[in-house]
């Protein structure tokens, strides 16, 4: 067997090798949704992605005879450690052929890099934080992931756990079948509670106003950094990060599916529901070397012309603490449900939800949602 070499991926050419490798791992997997190459190039470019402004990130490739056989990122998110008072690093962007030696060498490299930075534990997978893609799929390989959710081969579970990583937290995804609601309407109890809250408390939902997008982004940032502040692993978004995420989401948002909940005109909650563009993206199947304009043309054809998007993802939703338990969540749930039915969606994925987030899990189950996928964050003491 040829000797194995772990190399940093620093130059643009080395980062492109890092990106291209994914297509080798998943070449025969019908459920993997390839990313846009341009998006991955930006994601890995320290000069263009705002995460690098408060984090140290190292990319590594594993090679045999010069050929890439695995990748991993090791990182220290200083904002996470400051917020939580921890000394923890992370690994992410872990991709590997079905070869335990390669997997162990990559994970060892990430552990050693994080340890050298003075950290006493490492968690992952995280690409790069809770504000982006998170977790290893450990249950639910029954179809493609929805937009901005992770996917991986089954053998990654054994490789990671075999290196002494243990569960730190599970993230669950609920699937809601909307067909019964198309036939029967939303639950009368939900509508009744919504009417009472609107009349007695003056709490109402309104859709996102794209004409004042920048102001809406600022409102969402305030709600997000307040409503999610106590969630495990949460890290407040910087201004640059919220601007970056907003610029990306603006291209795919349907304002009819995104809502603010307000009291006396003041936002107290928000819900961001995204159409699942992974379905047309899988049809378009981007790949290195194929002109991206051609990929985008196919994506738009399947999305806008063939209209194959029948699933939406509840990407983010929350109510600030003073207004929890007074019906604001019901007002928001009713507005979202009515919009989904009006737009003809057949399924809603509510993801991801921390396994210990009882309130959100109850809301998902109130819609007859069922846990159909589980993603895991692992941890290892160093």
pLDDT, one tens digit per residue, over 289-306 is: 999 999 999 999 999 999
Asked whether residue 157 is domain-assigned, the answer is yes
Each residue's pLDDT tens digit, 194-241: 999 999 999 999 999 999 999 999 999 999 988 888 899 999 889 999
Considering the domain architecture, whether residues 213 and 267 belong to the same structural domain is answered as yes
- Phi, then psi, of 145 in degrees rounded to 5: -70, 155
Residue 67's H or E segment, with its range, is strand 67-77
User: Count of alpha carbons within 13 Å of 260, Cβ hemisphere only?
Assistant: 21
Among residues 56, 61, 87, 62, the alpha carbon closest in space to that of 74 is found at: 56
Domain termination residue (choose one: 156, 172, 188):
172
Asked whether residue 380 is domain-assigned, the answer is no
CB atoms within 10 A of CB 306: 11
Considering the domain architecture, whether residues 199 and 147 belong to the same structural domain is answered as no
Report the pLDDT value the prediction gives residue 46, as an integer from 0 to 100: 94
374 vs 136: CA distance, rounded Å:
8
CB atoms within 10 A of CB 133: 21
Considering the domain architecture, whether residues 230 and 290 belong to the same structural domain is answered as yes
Q: Does 29 score more than 60 pLDDT?
A: yes
Considering the domain architecture, whether residues 100 and 233 belong to the same structural domain is answered as no
Token pair belonging to 24: 């080798």
Asked whether residue 272 is domain-assigned, the answer is yes
Token pair belonging to 211: 């004409």
Considering the domain architecture, whether residues 345 and 369 belong to the same structural domain is answered as yes
Q: DSSP state, 120?
A: S
Structural contact between residues 341 and 251, judged by C-beta atoms closer than 8 angstroms: no
Considering the domain architecture, whether residues 22 and 165 belong to the same structural domain is answered as yes
Structural contact between residues 309 and 279, judged by C-beta atoms closer than 8 angstroms: yes
Report the pLDDT value the prediction gives residue 1, as an integer from 0 to 100: 53
Each residue's pLDDT tens digit, 104-145: 999 999 999 999 999 999 999 999 988 889 999 999 999 999
Asked whether residue 290 is domain-assigned, the answer is yes
CATH number at residue 150: 3.40.630.30
Q: Residue 57 — very low, low, confident or very high, per pLDDT cuts 50/70/90?
A: very high
Strands 311-319 and 133-134: unpaired
Considering the domain architecture, whether residues 179 and 30 belong to the same structural domain is answered as no
Domain that holds residue 341: 175-374
- Phi, then psi, of 80 in degrees rounded to 5: -60, -50
141 vs 161: CA distance, rounded Å:
18
Place of tokens 């490789």: 159
Considering the domain architecture, whether residues 53 and 196 belong to the same structural domain is answered as no
Structural contact between residues 217 and 111, judged by C-beta atoms closer than 8 angstroms: no
């Amino acid at each position: 067997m040829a000797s194995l070499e772990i190399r940093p991926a620093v130059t643009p050419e080395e980062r492109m090798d890092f990106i291209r490798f994914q297509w080798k791992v998943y070449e025969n997997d019908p459920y993997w949704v390839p990313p846009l190459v341009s998006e991955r190039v930006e994601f890995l470019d320290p000069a263009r992605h705002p995460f690098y402004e408060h984090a140290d990130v190292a990319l590594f490739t594993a090679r045999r005879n010069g050929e890439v056989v695995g990748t991993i990122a090791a990182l220290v998110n200083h904002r996470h450690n400051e917020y939580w008072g921890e000394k923890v690093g992370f690994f992410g962007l872990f991709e590997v052929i079905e070869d335990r030696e390669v997997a162990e060498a990559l994970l060892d490299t990430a552990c050693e890099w994080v340890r050298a930075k003075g950290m006493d534990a490492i968690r992952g997978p995280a690409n790069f934080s809770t504000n982006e893609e998170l977790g290893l799929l450990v249950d639910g390989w029954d179809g493609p992931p929805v937009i901005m959710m992770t996917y991986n081969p089954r053998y990654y579970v054994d490789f990671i756990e075999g290196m002494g990583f243990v569960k730190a937290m599970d993230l669950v995804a609920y699937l809601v079948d909307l067909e019964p609601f198309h036939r029967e309407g939303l639950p009368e109890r939900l509508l009744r509670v919504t009417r009472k809250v609107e009349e007695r408390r003056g709490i109402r939902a309104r859709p996102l106003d794209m004409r004042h997008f920048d102001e809406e982004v600022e409102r969402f940032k305030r709600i997000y950094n307040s409503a999610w502040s106590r969630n495990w692993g949460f890290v407040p978004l910087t201004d640059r990060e919220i601007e970056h995420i907003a610029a990306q989401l603006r291209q795919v948002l349907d304002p009819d599916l995104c809502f603010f909940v307000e009291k006396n005109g003041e936002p107290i909650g928000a819900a961001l529901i995204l159409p699942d563009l992974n379905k047309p993206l899988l049809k378009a199947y981007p790949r290195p070397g194929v002109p991206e304009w051609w990929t985008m043309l196919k994506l738009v054809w399947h999305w806008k012309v063939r209209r194959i998007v029948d699933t939406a993802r509840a990407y983010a939703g929350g109510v600030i603490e003073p207004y929890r338990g007074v019906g604001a969540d019901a007002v928001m749930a009713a507005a979202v449900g009515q919009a989904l039915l009006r737009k003809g969606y057949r399924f809603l994925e509510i993801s991801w939800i921390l396994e210990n987030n009882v309130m959100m899990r109850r809301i998902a189950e109130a819609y007859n949602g069922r846990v159909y996928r589980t993603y895991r964050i692992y941890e290892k003491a160093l």
